[in-house]
Structure 1
């Protein structure tokens, strides 16, 4: 049979053979118009209605999303959970008022503070439900990588002789208010002319768990312009004051495979100048290298690999002195740490800016904001592809992501 005839027969009898399309192995939880949504593959699903959602966080295995249900006035801040298996929203306990919560890195347990009390959820029918009191007098906290202990801080108080030290403790999750189980890790001496803070928080562990980084927060007016960035060894024996920066949690991040901390340094609450990306190498006597060229500011960062970092960069605006604060039109640059080569990788239009870069598996995502609306679209690019595409439209803030059903960072 001639080949042309055979081809004609195949096309005639099998015209609708399906083409298999590789499904994107990313799942996003995101907020649109103050409601919680997820996107998996090409499907978007709205999870809440008539709520005021913020701060969604995935559990370690991707089954649950914890979030805050608040209000526009900031008078309400209740903890809720969405169960993707049962497809339901619920409160782990009636009216938990909190703004600080964190999933265990190894189990579906949720730690949170209510007032100055640290609690950890119990489990009921496989779900986080109810709670156990853990410790009193807690200002901020985070899980240890083992999921059994937590690092907690206590606020400094002003006494006649000056500010008390800020104390950091290691406590077991089953402490049950037994003060004898708390182990003092370190006391941070406070000096208004040097390292000044009244509390510390935003704890982040290095990839190997040897170090924990955190931000100090001074009195409110001072904190708008300067916050100390510090690191402490996991055994509490080595403390380092790395520098000063603004109080943005996403502005300092550990390298994926080394004890290196990248951060945006620089005092002053306005973004127009003095915002410099540095990397502190704790293995080389805290050596710090600056990567922001003169005439520019860096306003966010993300590690791509052990040798590459992405920053959100804009030209300085030193001419601004008063009036409305100018918008800094950031685009993304990739920095090769070995060669110090710096290459622009996104090109927003005049009325757009690129912010919130995230690397999840082989994918880079970011939010392209419209200046007029302050909302944006999530763009995505795979490392082996040249072209970026819009993945999620009209988000309030950057999504939180899972790769193949697991948290990757």
Structure 2
């Protein structure tokens, strides 16, 4: 099957058709990825080839819609313009120029949310759809996430410095999508959920990361962040009950929302603890378990650092691990990471990939029945590797040859800027 027919099948299967019968088995999610090569946006579907969707115009940050039919991405040296493209047809359109914020698809429908000038907007996929503001009654926001059902948002308000040197409190509000048109966002109403403490771990709280719900929907994980200069080094990982009544500060960690994750089932939160922006020292894998969410023991051996994670099963975590190298100032001399499978029950650990002086293995991504994927790179070139579910730790092959280099912040490598699996 060619790429275009494969993508059309994906869009039909996962469009959430109202005609589908609930008794029918859920189809296996297809293996499909968007990636950036030489500044252009490409897609690949399992069983098909590669297809280029855009010209080489500095594309970055591809994100899939819930049905797999659309991709949102940015273009420009500073990622200033937000676009969306219909994957089967390749037809694209500009969503917002000079937006400069985060963007996320609804988990249940063809709506794209984006932040611009600390305001939240939603736009549909139709050519005639125009952005509608969702935060008219809330004011300026600091961060947001779609509610799990896709019917609204959880937002954190932006804190402001007062003349007395204190900051306004950070509120967490729920915003529900209106059932009808809401011109300018006027009909959108906010429901207060919680107010964060003025300080956590002796640090003033002025913002949050995005929010992540546990599989049960009972708990919400996020980072409470101090002012920008401090936030790069230390933030408080928090868990909030979904009714907003119980706030549990868990641990301190870097400002990296990719470094805390819930499993597909259960209420155990895995995260990489340790203050300091550099990922080459003091970074340890820990798991906090409900309902207390106290920091568990470190799964990271002495003299090692864990730099990324993914839940392989509800009791197995794959980490990106390297030797500590805080004393090595030259980035080119630092050891490359490899992948390790950490079994929470019993604590057994097994290497999935071998250490190498030629390249490292980055950003493991569990793909369910499709296995495990990651990026192999020497920091100048990069490929996407794939191991089938029954071959993890035994056999892997190059699935995509040649993608652009991801973002690097003090060895906190983010390959989501150039690669996104559906």
TM-score range, shorter chain: 0.7 to 0.9
Q: Which residue of 2 aligns with 1:70?
A: 76
Deviation at 1:218, TM superposition (A): 2.2
Deviation at 1:32, TM superposition (A): 1.2
Moved more, 324-333 or 228-237: 324-333
| TM-score (normalizing by structure 2) | 0.82
Kindly report which structure 2 residues correspond to 1:42-191, keeping only aligned pairs within 5 A, or say none: 42-71=48-77, 74=78, 77-92=80-95, 95=97, 97-122=99-124, 124=126, 129-135=129-135, 136-159=139-162, 160=164, 162-174=166-178, 177-178=185-186, 181-191=189-199
Report the Cα distance in structure 2 between the residues aligned to 1:338 and 1:353, rounded to whole angstroms. Answer: 27
Report the Cα distance in structure 1 between the residues aligned to 2:110 and 2:187, rounded to whole angstroms. Answer: 25
Q: Which residue of 2 aligns with 1:370?
A: 378
Indicate conservation of the 8 Å contact 2:110/2:124, yes or no: no
Deviation at 1:180, TM superposition (A): 7.9
Deviation at 1:324, TM superposition (A): 5.5
Deviation at 1:117, TM superposition (A): 1.8
Given the superposition, is the C-alpha separation of residues 134 and 180 from structure 1 closer, same or farther in structure 2, using an over 3 Å criterion? closer
Given the superposition, is the C-alpha separation of residues 193 and 380 from structure 1 closer, same or farther in structure 2, using an over 3 Å criterion? closer
Report the Cα distance in structure 2 between the residues aligned to 1:251 and 1:241, rounded to whole angstroms. Answer: 16
Deviation at 1:193, TM superposition (A): 5.8
Q: Which residue of 2 aligns with 1:356?
A: 363
Indicate conservation of the 8 Å contact 1:196/1:228, yes or no: no
Match of 1:34 among 31, 36, 39: 39
Moved more, 95-104 or 143-152: 95-104
Q: Which residue of 1 aligns with 2:409?
A: none
The alignment's C-alpha RMSD in Å is 2.3
**Any unmatched runs of 5+ in structure 2?**
1-27, 407-414
Q: Which residue of 2 aligns with 1:266?
A: 274
The one-character-per-residue Cα deviations of 1:237-259 (angstroms, maximum 9, x if unpaired) are 11111111111221111111011
The one-character-per-residue Cα deviations of 1:219-272 (angstroms, maximum 9, x if unpaired) are 222122112211211111111111111112211111110111111100112223
The one-character-per-residue Cα deviations of 1:28-51 (angstroms, maximum 9, x if unpaired) are 101112211001134011111131
The one-character-per-residue Cα deviations of 1:186-214 (angstroms, maximum 9, x if unpaired) are 11112276243321122111112221111
Indicate conservation of the 8 Å contact 2:152/2:174, yes or no: yes
Report the Cα distance in structure 1 between the residues aligned to 2:60 and 2:94, rounded to whole angstroms. Answer: 15
Q: Indicate the structure with greater strand content.
A: 1
Indicate conservation of the 8 Å contact 1:273/1:316, yes or no: yes
Report which of the two structures shows the higher radius of gyration computed on alpha carbons: 1
Indicate conservation of the 8 Å contact 1:120/1:173, yes or no: no
The one-character-per-residue Cα deviations of 1:365-404 (angstroms, maximum 9, x if unpaired) are 0001114x1x3111100121231101111112442112xx
Partner secondary structure for residue 310 of structure 1: strand
The one-character-per-residue Cα deviations of 1:319-366 (angstroms, maximum 9, x if unpaired) are 44x565853421000011111000111014312111110011221000
Partner secondary structure for residue 356 of structure 1: strand
The one-character-per-residue Cα deviations of 1:124-143 (angstroms, maximum 9, x if unpaired) are 3xx68312121131221111
**Any unmatched runs of 5+ in structure 1?**
1-22, 403-409
Q: Which residue of 2 aligns with 1:306?
A: 314
| TM-score (normalizing by structure 1) | 0.85
Report the Cα distance in structure 1 between the residues aligned to 2:261 and 2:321, rounded to whole angstroms. Answer: 17
Q: Which residue of 2 aligns with 1:18?
A: none
The one-character-per-residue Cα deviations of 1:262-317 (angstroms, maximum 9, x if unpaired) are 11100112223210000011235535232111121111111000010001111123
Count of residue pairs the alignment pairs up: 371
Indicate conservation of the 8 Å contact 2:118/2:142, yes or no: yes
Indicate conservation of the 8 Å contact 1:92/1:128, yes or no: no
Report the Cα distance in structure 2 between the residues aligned to 1:340 and 1:192, rounded to whole angstroms. Answer: 31
